[in-house]
Amino acid sequence: MPRKYTSQIKKFGAIVFEQREKAELTQAELARLAGIDIRTIRRIEKGDFAIGLEIVLSLAKVFKLQPSELLEKVKL
């Protein structure tokens, strides 16, 4: 069965990558600050992982953004 929303998941990964680079964080640093396993960060950035709300909230907190700011560029 094909995965739904593949392009949106990839777009979100690109947004996370851009925000991490902007914050001058390594994947390991982002993982530690967000309380997320580094393998999960890698999968998110590659667009291989559909995340849940808890991860969105954790990432938004690290990036000092509202969750909606992380999601606003992800279009259906």
Per-residue DSSP letters for the chain? -PPTTHHHHHHHHHHHHHHHHHTT--HHHHHHHHT--HHHHHHHHHT-----HHHHHHHHHHHT--HHHHHTT---
Using CA atoms, how far apart are residues 9 and 25, in angstroms rounded to an integer? Answer: 21
For the domain made up of 6-65, give the CATH fold.
434 Repressor (Amino-terminal Domain) (1.10.260)
Given pLDDT bands bounded at 50, 70 and 90, which one contains residue 12? very high
pLDDT per position as a tens digit, 42-58: 999 999 999 999 999 99
pTM given for the model: 0.92
State the sign of the Cα–Cα–Cα–Cα dihedral 47, 53, 54, 60: positive
